[in-house]
Amino acid sequence: MDPTPEECESFVDVADLLVWARLPPPADASFLELLGLSGDDHIRVLGAIPADEVASALRTWQIAEAPASAALRSKGTLAARAARVACGVEPSVAAAAELRVAREATRPATRTLPEPPLKRVKLLKTAKLEGGQDDGAEDEVAEASAQQPAGVPEVTGERMVGKMLRRKGRFGFIEQADGTEMFVLPRSCSPWGGWLPPIDTKVSYTVVVDEKTGM
């Protein structure tokens, strides 16, 4: 669709563009009148007209009081596009493709780093929420795929306060007053019938030895 580099070099005035686009008379004269041009205007005059203005004018184009055919409007569009390409206002399709290839060649390669695997740790302590009714939790929760919370307090039996932070099916975590997390099992939640409390529930608890692991 676009003119070749050799054809662009041969264009001098607007009349050359109309010949290249094969816009026949009297459509060529009507096209020039539509855009307020003359055949001996330099191609840069047509090239400087924005593409949307050319398109808007072509939609209203009439020849001998009859709407211009789709083929004639297409040729007018080609002539205007050729002017913009020849003047460097727009790159040709081929030049744009070469530019994309060059940019891809100079773009630094990106490497996607794998996500670190979850560390498997043995849970040492659990939080007991005011009771010890067993709900039949299975031993599979004795070792969880989770990161061991830092700063777990020693087993003291002292009553502590916090809130239910998150639930992971058969176990959950309490957010303690100092911002660290404490592991808890449903069987330690007798005030809630052996179920983990809802998220954000304020709880009072004591730190005890895990009944399953003895640690």
What digits encode the pLDDT tens for the residues 151-188?
444 445 678 888 989 888 788 888 988 888 888 888 88
Strand, coil or helix: what is 127? strand
Residue 113 pLDDT grade (very low, low, confident, very high; cuts 50, 70, 90) = low
What average pLDDT does this structure show over 183-205?
84
Quick one: pLDDT at residue 212? 60
Question: Sorting pLDDT into bands at 50, 70 and 90, what band is 19?
Answer: very high
Residue type for position 51: A
> In the predicted model, what is the mean pLDDT of residues 8-36?
94
Query: What string of DSSP letters covers 77-124?
Result: HHHHHHHHHHTTSS--HHHHHHHHHHHHHHSPP--PPPPPPPPPEE--
Cβ contact 2:83 at 8 Å: no
CA distances from 184 to 83, 115, 176, 180 (A): 75, 27, 12, 13
Least confident of 31-35, 74-78, 155-159, 160-164: 155-159
Query: Among 34-43, 62-71, 94-103, 189-198, which stretch is predicted with the lowest mean pLDDT?
Result: 94-103
Strand-pairing partners, residue 62, are: 67
Whole-number average pLDDT of the chain: 78
The pair phi, psi for residue 160, each rounded to 5°, is -130, 165
Residue whose structure tokens are 């009439």: 62
| CA atoms of 30 and 160, how far apart (whole Å) | 90
Residues in contact with 8: Cβ distance below 8 Å, sequence separation at least 6, in sequence order: 82, 85, 86
How confident is the model over 18-23, as a mean pLDDT? 95
CA-to-CA distance for 195 and 143, rounded, in angstroms? 19
Query: Over the Cα atoms of the chain, what is R_g?
Result: 39
Cβ–Cβ < 8 Å for 189, 196: yes
In the prediction, which pLDDT does 103 show?
A: 76
Which of the listed ranges 143-147, 161-165, 167-171, 189-193 does the model predict with the highest average pLDDT? 161-165
CA–CA dist 48, 89 (Å, integer) = 8
What is the pLDDT, as a whole number, of residue 145?
35
